[in-house]
Amino acid sequence: MNLSSSSPVKLNAKPIPSRPAATAVPFNGSQPQRILFGGGCHLRKVTNLSTTTTYFSAAKPVDAVVDKQQKKTESGSDGGPGRIESLSQVSGVLGCQWGDEGKGKLVDILAKHFDVVARCQGGANAGHTIYNSEGKKFALHLVPSGILNEETLCVIGNGVVVHLPGFFKEIDSLESSGVSCKGRILVSDRAHLLFDFHQVVDGLREAELAKSFIGTTRSGIGPCYSSKAIRNGMRVGDLRHMDTFPQKLDLLLSDAASRLQGFNYSPEMLKEEVERYKRFAERLEPFITDTVHSMNEAISQKKKILVEGGQATMLDIDFGTYPFVTSSSPSAGGICTGLGIAPRAVGDLIGVVKAYTTRVGSGPFPTEILGKGGDLLRLAGQEFGTNTGRPRRCGWLDIVALRYCCQINGFSSLNFTKLDVLSDLPEIRLGVSYSQSDGTTIKSFPADLRVLEQIKVEYEVLPGWQYDISSIRNYSDLPKAARQYVERIEELVGVPIHYIGVGPGRDALIYK
C-alpha cells in the first residue's frame, strides 16, 4: 500500500528474516499519484534508524530496551495479566483522538479484572465494536462494553443521555445472542432521557446550519444536552412520576416547536409519547437506581471500577475542535461529573490512540490524507462509522494533538490500536509539529479554527514494514521498523505504550 509519492526510506540495518506466521499480505487498491495535507506540510526524513543517536534520546540501543522488556514479560513481572491486575481501583479508558480508536475492545479485555464497568457521558452516538471468545461481533451503543463478561456489573451514569427505544433494542439483541442482562445493568435516575424528537431536532439543526453543519450522527445527543443545560430536560427518575410526566413532556415539545420551523407538534404526538413511555417506565424500573450511591458504595467496598469513555478528547465540548465537537466531556473531568466520583478516587487512565488518525463529520483535520491515499487507508482499516456507516476521514498520526490530549488527561499509559493496518507501507509519516505560514512554530494544539485551517504540518518519515503482523503476540517479534515506530511515539509524547492492537479479535493484543 503506497500512500506517498516520495521514495521509501531504507533501513540501514540488516533485513528482518521472514517468519512463517507473519507473511506479507499486500493491500489491494490503485496507487495514488499524490497526497495533499491540510494546510500544507514539511517533511523531515529519518534515514538512519539503526542506532539510537539518530532520534532516540535514550542512552540504550533500541534492541537492548526490547531485550529488557522481553525478559520482564517472560518472568511474568510485567506481562499482560500482571499489568492489568496492578491497575488502580478506579481506572479509565478514554479516547485520544476524534473517537473510533477502539476503546471498546480494551474495555472488554480489561473487564474480567474489574467488578464494575461504567459509562459516564455521551449516549448512543458512541459505537463500540467488540468480539466474544467465539469471534461473534457485537456493536454496542449505550450498554457498557463489559457486558460480555458475566461477572461484571454495568453502570450507565448520570452524565449519559439515554434513548430508551435504542436501549431496549440493544438489550433484546444481546439477550437473543445469549448474553444475559438481567440484574447486570444499572441506569442512573439522574441520567437525562433522550426522546425521538431530539433526533428530529438534531436533523433540523444540521439543515439550518447548511454549509456550516457540524456533521453529527443525528442521534439527538446535542439537543438532549441542550435541554439539560437550559433546565427543561427530563430525567430517568421522572418515569417514576407518570402523573406529572405529561406536563413536563408538553413543555419540552412546545419549546422545540417554538424554536424550530419544520418541527410539527400536536396533542396527538404528546398522547402517543406518554403512552409509549408508560410502557418503557414499567420495563426500565428494575434497572433504575441511584448510581452515585452505588458507585461510592463500590469504592468503599474496595471493588474495582473501570470507566469507559465515549467519543474522545478532540471532541470534548471544552477542549476539542469547537464547534465541531460532541456535547459532553469525554476527557478525564467527565468521569467525576458523570458518575459522582471524587477526583481523588480516580487512578490510572489509559488513552486509546489509533496508529493513524481518523475523524467523522466536519471540522479541521491537520494531518488528513486527501484523495486516493486517504481512500486506500480507509479501506485497509475498514474506517466506516459503527452507528451510521459513514466513511471516516483518514490521515497520519498527529503527535501535536496526541501530546495535547495526554496533557489534558494525565494518561498513565496508552493503548496503540490498528498497528496492523499500516503493514505493507513503504514509509510512515508522523505529524510532529505545527507552524504558521510565516514559519512561527505553534507550541500546542490551537483553539482558533482559522489557525488550524492554515497551519503547516512538519512530518517525520519513518520506514514501513512489509509484513502482516496480525498474528504476532510478542512485542519482540514485531518487525524492527514497527517497534521503532511505537518507540518514537513514546518518546515524542512522553507516555508509555503498554497495549498494542494488531487486529479486531480479543486475542489480537500485544502487551508491551
Of the residues 330, 345, 360, which one is the last residue of a structural domain? 345
* Interatomic CA distance for residues 458 and 461, integer angstroms: 10
The answer to whether residue 32 is domain-embedded is no
Q: Say whether 390 counts as a known binding-site residue.
A: yes
Q: Say whether 34 counts as a known binding-site residue.
A: no
pLDDT score of 362? 84
The answer to whether residue 141 is domain-embedded is yes
Residue with cell 539510537: 52
Annotated catalytic residue 398: no
Residue with cell 406518554: 274
| Bridge partners, residue 116, by sequence | 153, 305
Residue with cell 532520534: 55
CATH number for 294: 3.40.440.10
Q: Say whether 79 counts as a known binding-site residue.
A: no
Q: Are both 380 and 395 inside the same structural domain?
A: yes
Q: How many domains does the chain have?
A: 3
| Bridge partners, residue 358, by sequence | 394
* pLDDT tens digits for range 45-54: 443 332 222 3
Q: Say whether 127 counts as a known binding-site residue.
A: yes
CB atoms within 10 A of CB 250: 16
- Supply the DSSP symbol for 141: S
Q: Following DSSP, what letter does each residue of 304-365 receive, concatenated? A: -EEEE--S-GGG-TTTSSTTSS-SS--STHHHHHHHT--GGG---EEEEEESSEEE-SSS--
Helix or strand run (H / E) with residue 361: none
Amino acid, single-letter form, for residue 379: L
Cell of 510: 500485544
* Interatomic CA distance for residues 120 and 339, integer angstroms: 6
Amino acid, single-letter form, for residue 451: V
The answer to whether residue 217 is domain-embedded is yes
pLDDT score of 68? 41
CATH number for 197: 1.10.300.10
The catalytically annotated residue of 78, 100, 238, 316 is 100
| Bridge partners, residue 160, by sequence | 122
* pLDDT tens digits for range 370-418: 999 999 999 999 998 766 788 999 999 999 999 999 999 999 999 999 9
* pLDDT tens digits for range 23-36: 333 333 333 322 33
Q: Are both 251 and 323 inside the same structural domain?
A: no
CATH number for 57: 3.90.170.10
* Interatomic CA distance for residues 108 and 154, integer angstroms: 12
pLDDT over 90 (residue 288): yes
Q: Are both 238 and 338 inside the same structural domain?
A: no
| Bridge partners, residue 421, by sequence | none
Of the residues 284, 305, 324, which one is the last residue of a structural domain? 284
The catalytically annotated residue of 78, 108, 128, 456 is 128
- Provide CB contacts within 8 A for 358, sequence distance 6+: 97, 98, 100, 381, 383, 392, 393, 394, 395
* Interatomic CA distance for residues 481 and 495, integer angstroms: 20
The answer to whether residue 307 is domain-embedded is yes
* Interatomic CA distance for residues 432 and 460, integer angstroms: 7
The answer to whether residue 224 is domain-embedded is yes
CB 232 within 8 A of CB 198: no
Q: Say whether 388 counts as a known binding-site residue.
A: yes
Q: Which domain holds residue 309?
A: 103-187+288-345
pLDDT score of 368? 96
Q: Are both 279 and 294 inside the same structural domain?
A: no
DSSP-derived 3-state class of residue 41: strand
pLDDT score of 165? 96
Helix or strand run (H / E) with residue 495: none
pLDDT over 90 (residue 158): yes
* Interatomic CA distance for residues 389 and 327, integer angstroms: 21
* pLDDT tens digits for range 100-143: 999 999 999 999 999 999 999 999 877 778 888 888 888 899 99
The answer to whether residue 214 is domain-embedded is yes
Helix or strand run (H / E) with residue 275: helix 267-284
Measured CA angle at 186 (ends 184, 191), to 5 deg: 155
The answer to whether residue 28 is domain-embedded is no
Annotated catalytic residue 354: no
- Beta strands (DSSP E) in 292-381 are 305-308, 349-354, 357-359
Q: Are both 367 and 325 inside the same structural domain?
A: no
Q: Are both 356 and 475 inside the same structural domain?
A: yes
Name the residue with higher pLDDT: 150 or 4. 150
What's the mean per-residue pLDDT of the chain?
A: 84
Of the residues 302, 317, 345, which one is the last residue of a structural domain? 345
Q: Are both 132 and 170 inside the same structural domain?
A: yes
Q: Say whether 311 counts as a known binding-site residue.
A: yes
Exposed (0-12), middle (13-18) or buried (19+): which is 196, by Cβ within 10 Å? middle
pLDDT score of 39? 37
Q: Say whether 103 counts as a known binding-site residue.
A: yes
Q: Are both 134 and 269 inside the same structural domain?
A: no
The catalytically annotated residue of 163, 192, 198, 228 is 228
The answer to whether residue 127 is domain-embedded is yes
Q: Are both 303 and 439 inside the same structural domain?
A: no
Q: Say whether 10 counts as a known binding-site residue.
A: no
Annotated catalytic residue 128: yes
Q: Are both 183 and 316 inside the same structural domain?
A: yes
- C-alpha torsion 241→246→250→251, nearest 10: -30
Q: Are both 367 and 502 inside the same structural domain?
A: yes
CB 381 within 8 A of CB 424: no
Q: What does each C-alpha distance from 430 to 261, 379, 485 come to in angstroms?
A: 46, 20, 9
Q: Say whether 182 counts as a known binding-site residue.
A: no
Q: What does each C-alpha distance from 183 to 113, 121, 284, 305 come to in angstroms?
A: 19, 22, 12, 17
* pLDDT tens digits for range 161-187: 999 999 999 999 999 999 999 999 999
Q: Are both 59 and 178 inside the same structural domain?
A: no
* pLDDT tens digits for range 298-314: 999 999 999 999 999 99
CB 1 within 8 A of CB 376: yes
Q: Say whether 357 counts as a known binding-site residue.
A: no
